[in-house]
Amino acid sequence: MGGLVIVGAGECGVRAAFALREAGFDGPVTLIGDEPHLPYERPPLSKTFPTAPKHIAGEDAYAAARIDLVRGRRVSAIDRAKKRIAFAEGGDLAYERLLIATGSRASLFPGMEKARTLRTLSDAETTLGSLAPGKKLVIVGGGFIGLELAATARKLGADVTVIEAAPRLMARVVPTEIASVAEARHRAEGVAFILGTQVRTVTETSIMLADGHVIEADQVIAGVGALPNTELAAAAGLAIENGILVDGCFRTSDPDIFAAGDCCNFPYREARTRLESWRAAQDHGKHAARAILGGEDAYQRVPWFWSDQYDLTLQVAGLPDPAAASIRRDLGDGAFILFQLAPDGSLLSASGIGVENAVAKDIRLAEMMIEKGINPEPAKLADPTVNLKSLLRG
C-alpha cells in the first residue's frame, strides 16, 4: 500500500496516525494540520487557565513513529480521480487512502458574528488571557463549553453573566435534574443567568437581547454549538448529511476516503449521529485506522462525555432522550445518576453529577450495560445497595 494521508491534526487525526503504526502499517503516514502548534487536547482550554498546552503526543513520538507531521498548512482540495490533495499554500500530495479528520468549528447565529468563540489554543489565550477581577464577561450559551468557561472565568475573578435561549441549562445534553444542580452551584459561585432569552445582536463589548435590553461587557463569548468542517469533503463530491456521511467502518461514499471524529455522521444503534466528544474522536481515529488497513468490524462504542465545572464532574454514557423518564440512584454526598430505559427495557443512557470522580465508576458500568444491551430491573438501578456489576452480568 502507498501513502496514507490524514487531513486534520486534532484528537482524531493524531490517534489515527499512531494507530496505523500500532496495527503494523510500515508505509508513509502524513498528518496535516492547519494550526501552527504541536497537536494539543481541546478539553482543558475551557477548564483551566493559565495552563501550558497539553500535547496529544510529544514531538519525538511523531519522529519515532515515522509520522510526517505537517503543521500550519491547509488542505484546500481533494482530486479524487488523481488521488491527490492540494494545499492552500501551494503544492500537492498523492494519497493511496485518505482520512478526513477536520473536526468542527464554533457556530454563530446571525447577529452574533462579532462575538468571540473558544475552539483553539489561540482563542483560549486571547479570551481567557484578558480576564481579571472586575472584568465583565457575557457568555451566550449555557451548554458544556459556556458553563465550563463561566466556572473558569469566576476563578479568574471576572463578573460572569450567561444568556441562554432555552428555559434551562444544558438542555441538549443532560436531564433537567442534573442541570439544576449545576445551575445552583454556578449561582452560588456568583454567576448571573438570563434564561429563556434570545440574543438579537452582539458587538465586541455589548449584547442586545430580543426585547431590546442592552448589556455592556468587556468581552462577549459565544458557546452556542459547533458545525462540522465538511466543506473539503463536499467540494470533492462526498455525501454530506449533518457531517460527512460514513458507514460503520468510517468509509465515505468514496472507498479510498475515510472520515472520522467531530466531522463525520456515523451509524449508531439503527440511527445516525454526529458527536462532539473527545473520547469518540480518539476511538473513531483508532477504528478508522484499522478499517483503512482492511478491518471490517463495525464501530460500536457507546458515546461518553464529561464536563468539569468547579469541582463538579458531569458524566454521560449513551445518548439521553429529553422526553424519556429517569430512574434516580443516589450515591451519597449529593452525587446521583439518572438512568433511562429504551422502550424495549434496555439501558439507553446514564447521566451523573457529583464532586470529582463520585459518579465515574457507576457511569463506566452503565456504559458497559448499554454496550451489552442489558435490560436492568428499574428497582435495582435505583437501589444504591445493589452493585451495578451484578446487573452487568444480566
Q: Which parts of this chain interact with ligand FAD (CB under 6 A)?
A: 7-13, 32-35, 42-43, 45-46, 74-75, 101-104, 118-119, 145, 229, 232, 261-262, 276-279, 281, 305-307
Task: Supply the minimum distance, in Å, between the C-beta of residue 70 and ligand FAD.
Answer: 9
Instruction: Determine how β-strand 136-140 pairs with β-strand 159-164.
Output: parallel
**Of 104 and 326, which CB lies nearer to ligand FAD in the complex structure?**
104
Count of other CB atoms within 10 angstroms of residue 204: 11
Rounded Cα–Cα distance for residues 284 and 16 (Å): 8
AA letter at 167: P
Task: Supply the minimum distance, in Å, between the C-beta of residue 42 and ligand FAD.
Answer: 3
144-155 and 121-129 helices cross at what angle (nearest 10)?
40
Residue whose beta carbon is closest to ligand FAD: 10
H-helix or E-strand containing 314? Answer: strand 312-318
**Of 141 and 376, which CB lies nearer to ligand FAD in the complex structure?**
141
**Of 8 and 175, which CB lies nearer to ligand FAD in the complex structure?**
8
Look up residue 56 and give its three cell numbers.
496529544
DSSP string covering 245-275, please?
E--TT-B-SSTTEEE-GGGEEEEETTEEE--
Residues 230 and 203 sit within 8 Å (Cβ to Cβ): no
Residue indicated by cell numbers 472520522:
260
Report in angstroms the alpha-carbon separations of 360 from 102, 351, 367, 382: 30, 10, 10, 17
Rg (CA), the chain: 22
Task: Supply the minimum distance, in Å, between the C-beta of residue 328 and ligand FAD.
Answer: 24
Task: Supply the minimum distance, in Å, between the C-beta of residue 301 and ligand FAD.
Answer: 13
**Of 313 and 340, which CB lies nearer to ligand FAD in the complex structure?**
313
CA dihedral (136, 139, 144, 149) in degrees, to 10, reads: -30
**Of 228 and 376, which CB lies nearer to ligand FAD in the complex structure?**
228
**Of 83 and 391, which CB lies nearer to ligand FAD in the complex structure?**
83
Task: Supply the minimum distance, in Å, between the C-beta of residue 313 and ligand FAD.
Answer: 10
DSSP string covering 191-238, please?
-EEEES--EEEEETTEEEETTS-EEE-SEEEE---EEE--HHHHHTT-
**Of 46 and 219, which CB lies nearer to ligand FAD in the complex structure?**
46
**Of 317 and 369, which CB lies nearer to ligand FAD in the complex structure?**
317
Count of other CB atoms within 10 angstroms of residue 88: 11
**Of 244 and 335, which CB lies nearer to ligand FAD in the complex structure?**
244
Nearest to 349 by CA among 173, 207, 217, 199: 173
Q: Is the peptide bond between 50 and the residue preceding it cis, with omega within 30 degrees of 0? A: yes
**Of 216 and 311, which CB lies nearer to ligand FAD in the complex structure?**
311
196: left (phi over 0), alpha (psi -120 to 50) or beta: left
Residues 328 and 336 sit within 8 Å (Cβ to Cβ): yes
